[in-house]
Structure 1
Amino acid sequence: MDGGKSTVRSINQNKNHEFKGMLSVTVYLLAAALVCVLVTRLCAIHFEVVNAQQPGLTDLTDFDFDSSIAQVATESTGSIYIYAGAFYTSEDFAAGNISVDGILYDRTEGAQGDYGTLRMELRLPPGEVYAIAAKNPSYAQRLFIDGKEYSAIGIPGDSAETTVPKTARFVEAFLPQGDTTEIIFHYSNFVHADGGGLYPIDIGKVTSIVRNEQLSTIQTTAVIAGLTAIMLFFFGLFLFFERYKYLLWFSLLCGCIALRVIGSGLLPILLPELSWALEIRLSYIGTCLMALFASLYIASLFPGAANKWAMRSFAVFCGGCVMFICLAPTTVFTRYPVELSLAYIGFVAYLLLTMLWRALRGTLSFALSKPERRLLLLGLILFALLSAADIFAHQRALLLFGLSYQAVGMVVFLFLNMLALVMSFSRTEQELDAVRESQREIQETNRMLERLNRARIDFLNNISHEMKTPLAVISSYAGLTISQLRRNAMDEQTEENLDRVQQEAVRLGRLVEQLMKVSLEKERQLTLTDTDANTLLHRAADYCEALCRGHNNQITVACHPAHIPLRVNPDELFQVQLNLITNANRQMRDGVIALSAQQDEQNGQTVFCVADSGKGIPPELLAQVFERGVSGNGGTGLGLAICREIVREHGGQIDIQSGGSGTTVRFTLPLAKGGNQP
C-alpha cells in the first residue's frame, strides 16, 4: 500500500513540475515579447523608401518631413547614375566635359570598375537644413553636395598606389542652394572584390538624421551588451560544470557574434583609426568561428549526431579558412563570401539531417529534454533561413531592425538557446530534489538494515549458545553408551541413551539449517587471481560437454583476441558459465550453444556472451528472470540471480535478450591492469 501511494505521489509531483515549467516558459516568453515591443517602440527608426520619378532624379518636395522621423532610402536603380573609370565634378557636368557615358546604378552588380563617379539629384522643400547619412560606398570616398566638397573618407585615386582606403559611416548637413540638389560621390575600391556597392542613403532634417543615427548606435550597443552578458554568464557556468562542454561552446559562440556586431557597428566609432584591412579580416574570421562554435555546440547537445571525423574535418576546414583570411590579400578572400557562407550553412544542414536520421532510427541521444530540443530546433531553423537570406541581402545592403539578417538570426538563435539551457538547469534542479528525496529514503532503509543486522547478530549468538547444549548432551550419552558396550551391559537405559542422542542430533540439524539460511545472506569475500578469458571459456566448455551431449547439443568457443587478461575469481566465474550453459542446454535439443568473449578497450572491459538457438524466454518472464524464485520451468529460480550477484561483485553488468528463436546472455568484466599483453 505504501509503495502504491509513493508511486501516485511521484506521478503527481512530476505533473506539477511539468505544469509549473510550462507556466514559467509562457510567462518568460510574454515578458520577453513585452520588453522587445517596448524597446522597438522607444528605439524605432522610421524610414520610407522613395523611388526616382525620372532617371537620376528623386523628387521629395511633397514628402512630409515633419509627420514622422523620416529616413529616406534610395533603393531604386533609377535614382543614381554611375560613371566608371573617371572622376567628375559639378563643373564638369555643367560644362558637359563628360567623356564616359553614365548608366543607371544597379546595386545587385555593385560599382562598375575599381573607381569612378556616382551622381544623383534631389528636389527638396526649400528653407530647411537637411542631412545625408550612409556608409561610404567603397573603401575610399569623396563627397560633393551642390559642388561643395565635404569631408573625405580615405583618399580615392585611379590606382591602388594613389588610393588610401578607409571605411566609415558619415553624416553631413547641407542647405539646398536651388530647386535641385546635386550629390556626387568619387569612389575607389582596389582592396575588396565586392566592387564598392552603394549602401542605402538616409536623407532628412538634421534632427531626424541625428536621432536615427543615435538610435542605431543604441540598438547595436544593446545587442553587444546582451551578448557579452550571456557569454560571461555561461562561461562562468562552464567553469563550475566542466563536464557540460556545450556551455563553453555556447559562450564562445556568443563572444564571436558580439565581436562581429562590434566590427560592423561600433568598432569604426570606437577606433576610427583602425586599419580597414584588420576590420574586414576580423569580420570574416568572426563568421568562420561562429560556424565552428555553433557546430560544436549542436554536436555536444546531441552526442553522436555527427561523425567524429566529419566534425574534425570541419574544424580543420574552419582553421584553414582562418589561415587563408589572415594570409591572403583582401581582394582574394573577399571574392568568396557566398561560397564560405554556403559551406558553413551546409555543414549545419548536415548536422540537422543527421540528427533527424538518427532520431527516426531511435539512436539519437540527447543532453536536453523534449521541450528544450524543440526550442533549439526552432532557433536553428530561423538562423538557417535568415543566414540564407543574408547571402542575397549582402549585395543589396538590406537590413532588418538595423542589423543584418544573419545578426538578427543569431540573436534569435541565442535567445531561444539561452531559454532552453535555463530550462535544462531548472530540470536538473528538479532531478536533484528527487535525488535528495531518494537519499532520505536510502538513509531510512539503511537505519532499518542496521536494526536487522543487529537482530541477526543477536540471533547468531543465540544459535551458537544453543548449539553447545545438544553437542554436550550427545557427547555425554554417547560416552555412556560406549561404556556399556564395552562392559557388554546393554539394557533399557542403553536404548534411552540412543534415543536422547537421536533427538539432540535432529535438534542440532534444525539449528544448522537455520544457521545456513542466515549465513547465505552475509557479505561474500572474493579471492581474485590472474587468468584469461580463453581459459575460462574452455574450462566451462570441457566440463559441460558430456552434459550437452545428452541433448545432442554442441558447444562452440570464440575469443577475440586470443588472450584477454582478467583478474577474477575463476571458480565463481565458472559457476556463472555453468549456470548459463545448463539453462541453455535444458531449453533445446540438437542445437548450438555459442560461448564467446571480446575485448572492449575503449570501455576497459571484456564482454562475455552465451547464446543458444532454443525456443527463447516468454516475454512476460524476460523482465524478471534475474529475480530470486522466478522460473519458467518449475526450477528454484536461483541460477540467474546467483549469476547476477557474482558478476556485480566483480564490477560488471549482465543482461539478457530473447526473441522467438534463441536467447543471448551478455555480461562484462573489467580488464586486468596492463591491457592486452600476451
Structure 2
Amino acid sequence: MLAEKSRGRNLQRLLPAAAVLLVILAVHLFLERGPDHVVEIRPVDGMLDITGVDLSHEVANVDNSWDFYPNALYTSADFAAGVGRPVPEAGDPDAGSEPRYGTYRLIIKARPEQYYAICSYSIDYSTRVFVNGTEVASFGTVADNAAAHVPQVGSMTIPLYSGASGEVEVIYQFSNFVHRDGGFIQPTYLSTPQNIEAFKADNDLASLSLSSGLLVLFLYFLLCAALQRRGTFLLLAVCCLMMALRDQNFLVVHALPPGTSWYLTYRIFMTVTALLPGMVLLLLGSLYPGTVKKRLTILHAAAMGIAAALTVVLPTFWLVTVCTAAWICAIPYLFCLIWGITRHYLRRKSFQLVDALAAGGAAMLILSILMEAAYVNNSSAVSHYGIMPRGMLIFDLLIAASISLRAREQEAALSESRSRSELLERMNAMNLDFLHQVAHELKTPLTVISGYAQLTGLQMSTGHISSETPENLKVIRSEALRLADMVTKLLEYSYGKTSEAQFATVEVGPLLESVRAICTPMCLKNSNRLDLSGGTCADVCGSWELLLQVFINLVINANRHTQDGVITISASDRERREHVVFRVEDTGSGIDSAQLPHIFEKGYSGDGGSGLGLSICREAVEAHGGILEVERTGPDGTVFMFTVRKKEAAP
C-alpha cells in the first residue's frame, strides 16, 4: 500500500514536469518552424522550371542536382562557347576520386521581369558565385592550385532578376585543397526577397535561441563548478558550450568575428564534433559514479584528450578521420555505460521521480548521439547543425530538475537526521550565552566594590576619614548584597528553579542617586564628573535591579571613552505621554560610524570588551516596553537614550 502511494505521488510530481517540458519543446519548435509552406523542387538536366510555382507565399527547397563540371573553373562565356558535358556531382560513387576544384551550373526558368533571391551556405572551403555572368559573391579565393587557394565559408543571400527572357544562370565555382572531401552545394532555398529574409530570420531565431540558451547554461554550470568544486558541473558546462558551438550557423555567423580564418573555424568545429559524444558519455558517467570501471573511464578520457590534440596539430586533411575515430572509440564506453546504468537501477530495486528525471535525460541525450551518428553522413543539415544540441537542452532541463529535487530530498533527510544534534548545539549555545551574561553581570558589582574599597583604603591610609567614608562602606555593603542576590538567583536557576524579575513602582530620583553613588568612584579614575538631571519626574513601572544595571552599563561604557570630561544622566517625563525618557550623555570620543550599526549585537565590541553590555541593556529596556538607541554621536560625545513606561501607563 505504501509503495502504491509512493508511486502515485511520484506520478503526480512527474506530470507537471512533463507538461513544462512539452511547453519548452513547443516553444522551440515554434521558433524553428521556418516558412509556413516549403515546396520541394528538383532541377532536370541542369534546368529548374519555376514558372508554375507560386513563390509569393512559399519557399522552394531546391534539390542539389545541378550540372557539375569537375576540375574546371568555367564562366558564362565558357558555357556560351560550349564545354564538355557535366558528370555526376561530387560525392557520388560514380564520380570516382574527389575533384579538387570544379563548377556547378543551374539555369532557372522563371516568369519574366521577376525578382527572386536564393539563400544558402557557400560550398565548403572556397566559393565564387556568378549570376548571368556577373560575380555577385566570393568566399575565400577559388583557384586551380593549392598555392593560390584560400579557404573560407559563410552564409550568402543572392538576389536574382529574371529579366525579359525569364532565364537566370547561376554558377558556383569552388576549390578545395585542404580536405579529402570535394565541395558540394549546401541546402538552397529560393523565393521572393521578402520571403527569403523572413526565412532567414526564422532560422536565425531558432539557432540563436538554442545556442544562446546553451551558453547561458554553460555560464550557470561553470559558476556552480567554481562554487561547489564538483567535476559534474564542470562537465555540464563544457558540454553546453560545445553543444552551442556545434551549430555551424551560430559558430560562423554569430559567434566568431567576421573574417576569422577558415582554418581556425574549421578546427574549432571539428574539435567540437569529434569530442562531443565522448564528453557527453563522461558527463553521464559522472552522474552515475561506479557504473563504469574507473580504468575504462580513464582510458576513454585519454582517448578524448588524444583526439583533441590531433585536431589541433594534424593537417586539416585528416580531421574528418580523427572525428570518425573518436566516435568509434566512444562506442565501447557507451555500451558499458548503458549496461552500468541498467544494472544500477536493477540492484537498487527502486525507481523514484529523481531517477526517472535523470534516466530520462540520459536516454534523450544518448538517443540524440545515436541519431546524429546515423544521419551525419546522409544529411547536410545534420552534419552542419547536429541533433545533439536539442538532446542536450532536454537533458539539461531534466537533470537540473533532478538535481534540485534530489537536493531537496537530501536536505530534508539531513535536517531530520541532525535535528537532535542541532537541538543540543542550540542548548549549549544558550547555556554559553547565559554564562557570558552572568559573568558580565557579576563583574559590575565587583568593579564597584573594588573601586569603593580602594577609595576608602586610600582615605584611611592618609588619615583623611570624612563623612563620605561611612557612605562608601554602605555602597560596598549594598553591592555585596546585590552580588549575593545574583549568586542566589544563579543557584536557583542551576537547580531548575525560576526567579523572574519583579516589576513594581520605581521612583526615578532614588534610582538616579543610587546610580551616582555606585558610578562616581569609577568615573573619578578617568577624572570624569558625573552629573544628574531631572530626578523629580514621574515614577516608572519596572525592575529596580534591571534599570540600575542598564544605567551602570551605560555609564561604564561612557567612562571608558571619556577622559577629563562630564557624564550626565537625565530623566524627562514631558517629552512622551506614556514614557519617561532617560539619557546618558558623555563628552568623549564618540562611536565610529562603521561600528554604529553593530554595537547592540551580542559579542560585538569595538574596543576589546565582551560585547555583551549594550545587548543586555537593550534586552532589559525592551522588557520594560521601551526602546534603547543612540540619539547622537560624534567627536563631541555620545548620547544614549532609552524609554520606560510611566507607572500610570503600565499595562
Match of 1:488 in 2: none
Return the offset for 1:171: 0.9
Residue 49 of structure 2 is matched in structure 1 by 59
1:238 aligns with 2:225: yes
Is 1:418 the counterpart of 2:397? The answer is yes
352, 377, 389: which one pairs with 2:374?
A: 389
Deviation at 1:86, TM superposition (A): 1.4
Question: 1: CA distance between counterparts of 2:187 and 2:67?
Answer: 15
**Alpha-carbon shift at residue 419 of structure 1 (Å):** 1.6
Corresponding residue number in structure 1 for 2:176: 189
Tell me how far 1:445 sits from its aligned partner.
9.5
User: Does residue 156 of the first structure (1) align with residue 142 of the second (2)?
Assistant: yes
Determine if contact 1:139/1:167 at 8 Å carries over to the other structure.
Answer: yes
Q: Does 1:372 align with 2:357?
A: yes
Is residue 90–residue 183 contact of structure 2 (8 Å, CA) maintained in 1? Answer: no
| CA shift in 2, pair 1:91/1:47, >3 Å | same
Q: Do the aligned partners of 2:284 and 2:362 also contact (CA within 8 Å) in 1?
A: no
Residue aligning to 2:381:
398
Contact 1:45 1:215 in 2 (8 A): no
Tell me by how many angstroms 1:420 deviates: 2.8
- Cα offset, 1:191, TM superposition: 1.0
Structure 2 residue 129 is matched with structure 1 residue 143: yes
User: Equivalent of 2:262, from 276, 281, 289?
Assistant: 276
Q: Normalising to structure 2: TM-score of the pair?
A: 0.59
Output one character per residue of 1:605-637: Cα deviation in whole Å (capped at 9) or x when no partner. xxxxxxxxxxxxxxxxxxxxxxxxxxxxxxxxx
RMSD over equivalenced CA pairs, Å? 3.4
Quote the residue 2:572 is aligned against: none
Structure 1 residues 212 and 108: CA distance shift in structure 2, 3 A: farther
Q: Which string of whole-angstrom CA distances, capped at 9 and with x for unpartnered residues, describes residues 75-96 of structure 1?
A: 4xxx311111112222222222
Residue 315 of structure 1 and its aligned partner are, at CA, apart by: 1.6
Q: Deviations over 1:505-550 (max 9, x none)?
A: xxxxxxxxxxxxxxxxxxxxxxxxxxxxxxxxxxxxxxxxxxxxxx
Match of 1:103 among 87, 102, 118: 87
1:110-166 deviation digits (Å, cap 9, x = unpaired): 994101111111111222211122111231211111222222211211100122221
**Residues 80, 104 of structure 1: 8 Å contact kept:** no
In structure 2, the CA distance between the partners of 1:333 and 1:433, relative to structure 1 (3 Å rule), is closer
Q: Deviations over 1:383-418 (max 9, x none)?
A: 23322233323xx41359xx73x3x33322332343
Q: Give the CA deviation at 1:183.
A: 1.3
Match for 1:28 among 13, 20, 29? 20
- In 2: Cα distance, 1:447 partner to 1:331 partner: 69
- The 2-side partners of 1:390 and 1:49 are apart by 20
Structure 2: distance between partners of 1:302 and 1:368: 16
Aligned to 1:71: 60
Per-residue CA distance 1:325-345 (angstroms, 9 max, x = gap): 111111122345434333334
The letter for the 1-side match of 2:234 is L
Aligned pairs (5 A) from 1:582-601:
none
- Aligned 1:89-238 pairs, distance under 5 A: 89-96=75-82, 98=83, 100-105=84-89, 108=92, 112-177=98-163, 178-238=165-225
Render the CA deviation track for 1:546-565: whole Å, top value 9, x for unaligned.
xxxxxxxxxxxxxxxxxxxx
- The letter of the residue matching 1:274 is T
Unaligned runs of 5+ in 1: 1-7, 449-678
TM, length-normalised to structure 1 = 0.57
Q: Is the 8 A contact 1:55 1:104 kept in 2?
A: no
Write the distance in 1 (CA, Å) between the matches of 2:223 and 2:152: 38
* Contact 2:91/2:181 (8 A) holds in 1: no
Match in the other structure for 1:431: 410
Which moves more between the two structures, 11-20 or 319-328? 11-20
Structure 2 equivalent of residue 48 of structure 1: 39
Give the fraction of aligned pairs with identical amino acids, expressed as a percent. 23
SS of residue in 2 equivalent to 1:71: strand
Structure 2 unaligned spans of 5+: 428-651
Q: Secondary structure at the match of 1:103?
A: coil
Match of 2:453 in 1: none
* Cα deviation 1:572-595 (Å, max 9, x = unaligned): xxxxxxxxxxxxxxxxxxxxxxxx
Distance 2:417 2:105 in 1: 77
Number of the residue aligned with 1:311: 297
Q: How does 1:482-501 map to 2 (within 5 A)?
A: none
- Per-residue CA deviation, residues 243-263 of structure 1 (Å, 9 max, x unaligned), is x43222112211121233367
Match of 1:458 in 2: none
What is the CA-CA distance between 1:266 and the residue it aligns to? 4.1
Equivalent pair of 1:302/1:364 in contact (CA under 8 Å): no
> Could you say if the C-alpha distance between residues 30 and 298 of structure 1 is closer, same or farther in structure 2, counting changes exceeding 3 Å?
closer
Residues 337 and 46 (structure 1 numbering): CA distance in 2 closer, same or farther, change over 3 Å?
farther
1:378 Cα deviation after fit: 2.4
Say whether the 8 Å CA contact 2:98–2:181 is kept in structure 1.
no
Number of corresponding residues: 425
Letter in 2 for 1:410: P
Q: What is residue 621 of structure 1 aligned with on the other side? A: none
Aligned twin of 2:388: 409
CA distance in 1, matches of 2:92, 2:350: 45
